[in-house]
């Protein structure tokens, strides 16, 4: 987390309740740097969209303060915050042309006609829609409408843009294309972006940092690779990417290593993350791509017997579901390469991984 004194956007002990009893956002402290692309990621009801709406001014914090460039904005109405907004449903005016839609935020800000034309042309060029100024939204595809919504958010050159599930209604290929375009534009323009999504791949692909929300709190705030490689609790490990878990109890702890006695039999070493003492129940987390079948990992590696339950060809990878230590949901992903052995249900195999690749987390 950034030092609050250098924060461009800051949530200071912010809480939100709709009924005066239940908090949907709980004591949020979050600092966002100028030019940073920060994503709020979490399941429905986790509080991420409420945080975005409070920053935009469409919701009011029950407690605490939100600051923009060091200035409290709790009492400032949305249209005076100078923030660009992009929503999933585009929110374009259907009776206006594309150019008129882009002109609207400029007219509100009393920008002259000549300057309006220049800014509109520039914004449409940014999103590769320069030839569409005379069309109405109904004459555009969903992807084109979202590009126009993005251009409208950028046309008055805000320093902060908020995006709420902006790509959720688009097909996979178009969504991936716009992910890269939005990220490129944000970095080229040097704007600060706060982005809300429940799509973990989107968050990992686009963000400088990701705040993972659950139950109104940030469970972990980190760079995408830190989140994936070093989750701090079992919720983050399970929510970010595909993940294997084996249940057990800590039987020994020695500095940066602990021994876990698995419920299904056997012992493995792991990195202790939030287990404190011998006897603590734990979920050991191992990513599917870190596990090898018929492993050649050398000294120190763990190996366990497994039975193949399912073998799926996915093009670039094979996905194998195994029965391991009494669990039927253990997954291994192996790269599709020349000479790769194809397995069948019922095959008995040996699997292995390095102790540094598994983490002992809270239950």
pLDDT tens per residue across span 77-92: 998 999 999 988 878 8
Dist. CA 70–CA 75, nearest whole Å: 14
Rounded to whole angstroms, what are the CA distances from 188 to 122, 182, 183?
14, 10, 9
Show the domain range for 288: 243-361
What confidence tier does 30 reach under pLDDT thresholds 50, 70, 90? Answer: very high
Q: What angle, rounded to 10 degrees, do the helices at 113-126 and 142-154 form?
A: 130
Residue with the two structure tokens 């996979």: 172
Q: Are residues 152 and 257 in the same domain?
A: no
From 234, 254, 270, give the residue that closes a domain.
Answer: 234
Residue 172's alpha-carbon distances to 40, 288, 338, in angstroms, are 20, 23, 29
pLDDT of residue 330: 96
State pLDDT tens for residues 302-316. 889 999 999 999 999
244-288 pLDDT, tens digit per residue, is: 999 999 999 988 899 999 998 888 999 999 888 899 999 999 999
What percent of the residues of the chain are helix, what percent strand, and what percent coil, each to the nearest 5? 30, 35, 35
Examine the domain organization and report whether 228 and 250 are in the same domain.
Answer: no
Identify the three-state secondary structure at position 275.
coil
Per-residue confidence at 363, pLDDT binned at 50, 70, 90?
confident
Predicted confidence (pLDDT) at residue 3 exceeds the cutoff of 70? no
Instruction: Say if residue 162 is in the same domain as residue 16.
Output: yes
Same domain assignment for residues 213 and 294: no
**Residue 172, pLDDT score:** 87
* CA 352 to chain CA centroid, nearest Å: 29
Average pLDDT for residues 133-161, to the nearest whole number?
92
pTM for this predicted structure: 0.89
- 253, 272 in Cβ contact below 8 A? yes
19's CB contacts (< 8 A; 6+ apart) are: none
The residue among 295 and 20 whose pLDDT is bigger is 20
Cα(30)–Cα(10) distance, integer angstroms: 6
Q: Of 186, 212, 234, which one is at a domain's C-terminal end? A: 234
Look at 87 and 232; give whichever has higher pLDDT.
232
Instruction: Give me the pLDDT at residue 301, please.
Output: 78
207 with 252, same domain: the answer is no
Average pLDDT in the chain: 92
250 in Cβ contact with 278 (< 8 Å): yes
Longest dimension (CA), the chain: 75
**Opening angle at CA 239, ends 234 and 245, nearest 5:** 45
Residues 227 and 251 in one domain: no
Confidence check: pLDDT of 2 > 70: no
Domain boundary among 184, 201, 234: 234
Of 6 and 337, more confident: 337
Instruction: Mark whether 208 and 98 lie in a shared domain.
Output: yes
Task: Detail the DSSP E strand segments found in 62-203.
Answer: 63-68, 71-72, 83-87, 160-164, 192-197
What pLDDT does 168 receive? 83
Q: Which residues, 6+ apart, have CB-to-CB distance to 186 below 8 Å? A: 37, 161, 193
pLDDT tens per residue, range 193-204: 999 999 999 999
Whether residues 91 and 164 share a domain: the answer is yes
Residues 345 and 326 reside in one and the same domain:
yes
| 119-125: average pLDDT | 93
Region 128-147: what's the mean pLDDT? Answer: 92
CA gap 347, 322 in Å, rounded? 10
Nearest partner of 101 among 52, 56, 54, 139, judged by Cα: 139
Domain co-membership, 249 together with 224: no
Q: How many domains does the chain have?
A: 2
- What beta strand segments (E) does the chain contain? 9-17, 23-32, 37-41, 63-68, 71-72, 83-87, 160-164, 192-197, 209-214, 217-222, 244-254, 257-262, 267-272, 281-286, 292-293, 302-313, 317-324, 327-335, 348-353, 358-361
Residues 257 and 332 in one domain: yes
Are 207 and 260 part of one and the same domain? no
Q: Rounded CA gap, 162 and 65, in Å?
A: 18
């Amino acid at each position: 987390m950034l030092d609050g004194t250098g924060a461009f956007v800051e949530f200071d002990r912010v809480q939100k309740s709709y009924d005066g009893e239940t908090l949907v956002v709980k004591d949020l402290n979050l600092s966002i740097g100028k030019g940073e692309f920060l994503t709020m990621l979490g399941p429905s009801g986790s509080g991420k969209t409420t945080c975005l709406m409070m920053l935009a001014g469409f919701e009011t914090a029950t407690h605490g303060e939100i600051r923009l460039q060091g200035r409290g904005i709790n009492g400032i109405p949305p249209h005076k915050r100078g923030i660009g907004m992009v929503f999933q449903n585009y929110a374009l005016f259907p009776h206006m042309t594309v150019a008129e839609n882009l002109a609207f935020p400029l007219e509100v800000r009393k920008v002259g006609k000549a300057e309006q034309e220049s800014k509109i042309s520039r914004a449409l060029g940014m999103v590769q829609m320069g030839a569409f100024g005379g069309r109405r939204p109904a004459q555009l595809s969903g992807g084109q409408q979202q590009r126009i919504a993005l251009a409208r958010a950028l046309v008055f050159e805000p320093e902060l843009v908020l995006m709420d599930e902006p790509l959720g209604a688009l097909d996979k290929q178009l969504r991936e294309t716009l992910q890269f375009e939005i990220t490129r534009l944000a970095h080229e323009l040097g704007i600060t972006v706060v982005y809300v999504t429940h799509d973990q791949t989107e968050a990992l692909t686009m963000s400088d940092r990701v705040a993972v929300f659950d139950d109104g709190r940030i469970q972990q705030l980190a760079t995408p690779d830190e989140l994936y490689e070093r989750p701090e609790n079992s919720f983050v490990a399970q929510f970010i990417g595909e993940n294997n878990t084996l249940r057990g109890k800590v039987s020994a702890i020695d500095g940066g290593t602990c021994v876990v006695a698995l419920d299904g039999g056997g012992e493995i070493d792991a990195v202790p993350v939030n287990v404190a003492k011998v006897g603590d129940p734990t979920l050991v987390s191992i990513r599917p791509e870190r596990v090898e079948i018929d492993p050649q990992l050398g000294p120190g590696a763990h190996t366990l017997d497994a039975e193949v339950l399912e073998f799926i060809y996915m093009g670039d990878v094979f996905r194998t579901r195994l029965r391991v230590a009494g669990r039927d949901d253990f997954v291994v992903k192996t790269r599709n390469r020349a000479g790769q052995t194809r397995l069948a249900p019922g095959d008995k195999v040996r699997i292995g991984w390095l102790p540094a690749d598994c983490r002992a987390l809270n239950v």
